[in-house]
Amino acid sequence: MQIMEKEENKITGTPRQEWNVPAAVGNENLSIDRTRMAAERTLMAWLRTSLSMISFGFTIYKFLQAFQTSGTATILRTHAPRNVGLSLIGIGTFALIIACVQHVKYLQKLHIDKGSTPWNLALMVSCLVALLGLLMFWSIVLNSGPFS
């Protein structure tokens, strides 16, 4: 250690200084907040991906359904638009539900007190979008409701 300091003194011409910074009060709270916010950013990334899949699946379903009913083109399989749309909506909804469950379990692992944290808006929006995805899925499966 002393050899390295001597070499450093030769190169820079100044002795090495040690920084003794006192630990700030509440640093552990800041690290927990950063970790919680990183988990929320991850959930929001899953929300964006799932919302894209759900909306793209619904758009494909409606577009191909309108294309098929217009009679301008023949589609060999009559349920192809429905199946493609259902697949994308189902995958997006399933991924979002799993992401919500994973997020809640991760917050429980962090032992975050419910009273000390603000409302988890990302989780609430994710749950509402997952509910919307389920409603879309079942509306298309049952061929009734506002989404069919």
What does the pLDDT read at residue 21?
A: 46
| Minimum mean pLDDT range among 18-27, 40-49, 83-92, 118-127 | 18-27
Kindly tell me if the per-residue pLDDT of 144 is higher than 80.
no
Whether 25 is in a domain gets the answer no
Whether 4 is in a domain gets the answer no
Enter the DSSP assignment of 22: P
What does the pLDDT read at residue 125?
A: 95
**CA distances (Å), 103 to each of 35, 53, 98, 132, in order?**
12, 20, 9, 19
Whether 51 is in a domain gets the answer yes
Higher pLDDT, 19 or 104: 104
> Using one digit for the tens of pLDDT, what is the confidence trace for 81-135?
788 889 999 999 999 999 999 999 998 888 766 656 667 899 999 999 999 999 9
What domain range is 44 assigned to? 35-142
Whether 22 is in a domain gets the answer no
Distance CA 99, CA 127 (A): 10
What does the pLDDT read at residue 76?
A: 61
* Helices and strands in the chain, H and E counts: 4, 0
Whether 26 is in a domain gets the answer no
- Categorize the per-residue pLDDT at 20 as very low, low, confident or very high, splitting at 50, 70 and 90: low
What does the pLDDT read at residue 112?
A: 65
Domains identified in the chain, total number: 1
> Using one digit for the tens of pLDDT, what is the confidence trace for 62-83?
888 787 777 666 666 677 778 8
Whether 13 is in a domain gets the answer no
Whether 57 is in a domain gets the answer yes
Vertex 74, ends 70 and 75: CA angle to 5°?
110
What does the pLDDT read at residue 2?
A: 57
Would the CA dihedral through 108, 111, 114, 120 be positive or negative? negative
| Residue 39 token pair | 């988990």
Whether 27 is in a domain gets the answer no
Please state, rounded to an integer, the average pLDDT across all residues of the chain.
80
